[in-house]
Amino acid sequence: MLIFGEIGPIGRDVAVDAIRRENADGRRWVKAELHDVAVRTLVKDAALLSYRAEARWHSADADISVYASSVYVRRGDQWKLAFHQQTPLPTG
């Protein structure tokens, strides 16, 4: 599950399709910086990552800034994204 302030909640299949379309269209991030990163263990195999991000698409003139939180769960020896939420920060 992903939740974006601009479009609301979307599931895995919609998110993966959107990423594939962005890749096919040549959309790339030229900037992606994380600030104020915090990690909290929720239970043995789950963790919450929160941060402020500044990023810019290659075709954009301005950065976007968001607060984001992601929950990861460990499956075997891999960490998998289970939930992601981001809130746009005001511009200007």
Identify whether the C-beta of residue 1 lies closer than 8 Å to the C-beta of residue 8.
no
CA dihedral 48, 50, 56, 57 (to 10 degrees): 20
50-67 pLDDT, tens per residue? 999 999 988 888 888 999
Question: What CATH code is carried by the domain that includes residue 27?
Answer: 3.10.450.50
Domain span including residue 56: 2-88
Query: Does pTM surpass 0.85?
Result: no
Q: How many domains does the chain have?
A: 1
Q: Which tokens is 77 given? A: 């020896």
18-77 pLDDT, tens per residue? 889 988 988 888 899 999 999 999 999 999 999 999 999 888 888 889 999 999 999 999
